[in-house]
Amino acid sequence: MVIISKIFKYFLLVIIFTVMLFPIMQVKLKLFEIKPLNGYIEYPPEVEFSFSDWFSSKYQEEKEAHLNARFGFRSTCIRLQNQIAYSLFNKVNANGVIFGKENYFYEECYLLAYNGCDFLGQDSINKTLSRLKFVSDTLKKLNKQLIIVFAAGKASFYPEYIPDKYVKTNVTNTNYKAFSNGAKQLGLNTIDFNAWFMKNKSTSKYPLYPKHGIHWSNYGMALVADSIIKTIELLRGINMPTISFNEVEIKKPHGDDTDIGDGLNLLFELTSFDMAYPKLFVKEDGKDKPNVLVISDSFYWGMYNFGISNCFNSPHFWYYNQQVYPESATKELLTSSLNTGEEILKNDVIIIMATEATLKNIGWGFIEKAERHFKVKTN
């Protein structure tokens, strides 16, 4: 009996030491292939030893942060922690993500915008609309067009799943309402996809918005791209290349359709209804290609990635009016290094797109720069 007890103690000791050493062995030997965490993660850099840092405790603190961010099975442990919080307490460990009804996810900024919490005020919005009108009229004289695109917003599209603490019944003004109504009254060229998505929510052949993503669906995005192209054709009286699809694959959501869900870094996949994935192709032969500049938030990324640029000549995408694409795909190019006025004159069409959560910063400084450029030219 004593011998069995000793064997058990030794065996238990071996297990404890093995568990303690396992993370170190994983770091050094890569025993298992571990799925990395999704999202942007900034790891503390390696630190160099110095006596001054040692005696001030700076070295120990930075070394500890470095090792904690790289210990073996770290991503698995974080996923386990997140899964427990999600499954047992309906809590999500992701910055700005809100857990809605029936497992629908939102970003808080969309809920705040939907409730008018970030409303700029009518006077401020009128000033921006006045600038847009001036820029639009000036471009029209130069045979160029400005198009304002209101991207769809998830809070507007799925208000029924918004958690009760974010439900408001006395919302009078929002940036979206003020901008969309004001732009139409001024006769600006607009495409209101937020209104169109809500109108077609129950009749669309395929889902227009995913359950666990923040952007419009791949299918919805294809319809958006087609509408943008048709609007440019109408305004300029040209026949452009078209984005088409004759085959749609129905399967479980992935990619952009799960961008919020993936960012939660859970152990197990979330369950959702299937989504539609059109197999897109561009018909280019013998068509007119205008020069197009797009200033937008992340809602343009999907179209940019699937090839809407093939319908334009010399296309450029200014992401939040900061990074210039396609150049920044290889080496970062910032709009601050460009002459905004000269860039405008190179293009036939200027598109400014924002969703309800980003309308408070629409143009991200581009509108003001364009106004200043043209006012200097006319004085």
pLDDT tens digit sequence for 243-299 = 888 899 999 999 889 988 888 888 888 889 999 999 988 887 778 999 999 999 999
Confirm whether 368 is domain-assigned: yes
pLDDT of 16 reads 67
Report which DSSP code applies to 216.
Answer: P
Number of domains in the chain: 1
pLDDT of 288 reads 92
Q: C-alpha distances in angstroms, 337 versus 236, 323, 332, 343?
A: 30, 10, 11, 11
Among 309, 310, 307, smallest CA distance to 351 is for 309
Confirm whether 61 is domain-assigned: no
pLDDT of 69 reads 60
Let me know: does 295 contact 366? Beta carbons within 8 Å: yes
Let me know: does 348 contact 290? Beta carbons within 8 Å: yes
Confirm whether 36 is domain-assigned: no
How far apart, in whole angstroms, are the C-alpha atoms of residue 147 and residue 27? 52
Cβ count near 110 (within 10 Å): 24
Kindly give the interhelix angle for 122-141 and 366-378, rounded to the nearest 10 degrees: 50
Q: What is the mean pLDDT of residues 102-112?
A: 94
Cα atoms in the 13 Å half-sphere on the side-chain side of 191:
23
Q: C-alpha distances in angstroms, 6 versus 14, 55, 363?
A: 12, 44, 73
Confirm whether 151 is domain-assigned: yes
Phi, psi at 251, each rounded to 5°: -160, 175
The token pair that represents 174 in the structure block: 């929002």
- Whole-model pTM? 0.85
Confirm whether 187 is domain-assigned: yes
pLDDT of 147 reads 98
Confirm whether 76 is domain-assigned: no
Peptide bond into 326 cis (omega under 30): yes
Among 263, 308, 253, 299, smallest CA distance to 154 is for 299
Confirm whether 6 is domain-assigned: no
Which of 47 and 210 is assigned the larger pLDDT?
210
Confirm whether 55 is domain-assigned: no
The token pair that represents 218 in the structure block: 């791949």
In tens, the pLDDT along 196-255 reads 999 999 999 999 999 999 999 999 999 999 999 999 999 999 999 988 888 999 999 998
What range defines the domain where residue 164 resides? 99-378
H or E element, residue 175: helix 175-185
How far apart, in whole angstroms, are the C-alpha atoms of residue 255 and residue 301? 12
**What's the sign of the alpha-carbon dihedral 286, 287, 290, 292?**
negative
pLDDT at 54 over 80: no
pLDDT at 187 over 90: yes
In tens, the pLDDT along 324-374 reads 999 998 999 999 999 999 999 999 999 999 999 999 999 999 999 999 988
